[in-house]
Amino acid sequence: MTSLSSWIENKLLQLNVTETMDKQNGFSRLSFTKEEKAAHVQFEKIASELGLNVHQDAAGNTWAVWEVDHSAPTIALGSHLDTVDSGGGYDGTAGVLTALAAIRELKRSKFIPKKNIAVICFISEESARFGISTIGSKAITGKLNKQELSTMKDRDGVSVQQAITAYGIDFHSIDQAVIPIESLECFIELHIEQGTTLENAGASIGIVKGIACPVRLKVTAEGMANHTGTTPMNRRKDAFVAIAPLVTFVQAEALKVNETSEQPLVATVSTISLKPNAMNVIPGRVELGIDIRSVDDELKRNFAEKIKSYCSEINNKDGVTIEFTTLVDNDSVLLEDTMHDKLLQASESLGYQTISMNSGAGHDVMNMAANWPSGLIFIPCKDGISHHPAEYAAINDLEKGTRVIANFLQVEAGN
């Protein structure tokens, strides 16, 4: 085992505040909890050991900076340390860890950068607690809507504001975490893939071109609740029966679209709320949530239109009204070609099996990419499993990711 891999193995445990990665219930470090804070404290410790300057910004992001020249540009790297409930210890952590490990490698090789290198440990990336994601990178890039944020609560009724205050941050000044465009030159995030594209391709490194953002729809069927025992079959307004064909329609149409489209599209009926949801009552109202993703924005919007016209086709059949609402419609994020090409080059020159690919999940880099040329590196995770205790990435792949970052930094900060 090389000393880099044992360092990675060791610091992986430290960032996860654990003695073993093999935990039946995984890791739970929800947004703005003492568990998230404990992980940030470990990040600070490791960064300090590496001789980096550490500070926390107004939103709670922890920065570790290898500062060589105050007037020189800064290359930033980073990811997050919070998790979903019973999540894995690699989602987010892999990016923070490999960024630190790359700096360690450069320092050990006596490399002296001509630019500053910053590692950002973003606060509160997961939406698991408050339903809002990437709070830290939104704050840095000026995308945080404090008004909207102040209305959000977790399932125990704790507001974001209360949680942030308990974390030790002044809610009213979190927008002061925003930094001017000129303070960074570019940004890179490494993340586990959370899919099986790399595994299937037998590749170790993926360089991401685009991040597919979702169109999210709500479809509501309104019929009439009534007694299951006394209402004859031909006298019902069963909302569930009326809307049920939509579920298989979405699946079948998405499969069909993928037969001919250049870019893949995924569509999922992912939530259902059924009222009154009682054994002896005909469903009177059903709400479906549909999530559609593709980096081809036109493709996903056309797909949403197909669902809309299907809904109007089935509207008012058997006295059930169907209503269609668009909840979210964000453009996909295309990462800058030059960053993509540089990272591809950094990986291929190390002899790693590397592919260009897209991401089906959002990450902090999405926000950063709006302000700075940004890149996203994927490493494989076993069977594509993530947000689950079984999430796993091999030390060997974390090491390869580290070397890609170090190689990139050597080129970019070396001249």
- Residues forming contacts to Zn ion in the complex (CB under 5 A) are 91-92
**Residue 198 parent element (H or E):** helix 197-201
**At its nearest, how many Å lie between Zn ion and the CB of residue 151?**
25
CA distance readout (Å), 350 to 221, 309, 371: 55, 51, 29
Name which of 197 and 407 has its Cβ closer to Zn ion: 197
Name which of 92 and 380 has its Cβ closer to Zn ion: 92
> Whole-angstrom Cα distance, residue 394 to residue 402?
12
**At its nearest, how many Å lie between Zn ion and the CB of residue 50?**
23
Q: How far is CA 177 from the centre of its chain?
A: 20
Answer yes or no: are the C-beta atoms of 63 and 136 closer than 8 Å.
no
C-beta nearest to Zn ion: residue: 92
**At its nearest, how many Å lie between Zn ion and the CB of residue 126?**
7
**At its nearest, how many Å lie between Zn ion and the CB of residue 386?**
8
Answer yes or no: are the C-beta atoms of 64 and 47 closer than 8 Å.
yes
> Whole-angstrom Cα distance, residue 225 to residue 220?
14
Cis peptide before 276 (omega within 30 of 0): yes
Name which of 44 and 91 has its Cβ closer to Zn ion: 91
Q: Which among 188, 189, 176, 93 is positioned nearest to 140, based on CA atoms?
A: 176
* Structure tokens belonging to residue 79: 């990811």
**At its nearest, how many Å lie between Zn ion and the CB of residue 379?**
12
> Whole-angstrom Cα distance, residue 62 to residue 58?
10
Name which of 128 and 225 has its Cβ closer to Zn ion: 128
Name which of 92 and 389 has its Cβ closer to Zn ion: 92
**At its nearest, how many Å lie between Zn ion and the CB of residue 207?**
17
CA distance readout (Å), 137 to 143, 233, 265, 328, 393: 8, 54, 27, 19, 24
**At its nearest, how many Å lie between Zn ion and the CB of residue 71?**
33
Q: Which among 204, 188, 177 is positioned nearest to 343, based on CA atoms?
A: 188
**At its nearest, how many Å lie between Zn ion and the CB of residue 86?**
15
Q: Number of C-alpha atoms within 13 angstroms, CB side, residue 309?
A: 6
> Whole-angstrom Cα distance, residue 136 to residue 69?
26
Name which of 83 and 116 has its Cβ closer to Zn ion: 83
**At its nearest, how many Å lie between Zn ion and the CB of residue 245?**
35
Rg (C-alpha) for the chain, rounded Å, is 23
The residue to which tokens 């299907």 are assigned: 310
Angle, helices 3-15 vs 93-108, to 10°: value is 140
Name which of 57 and 91 has its Cβ closer to Zn ion: 91
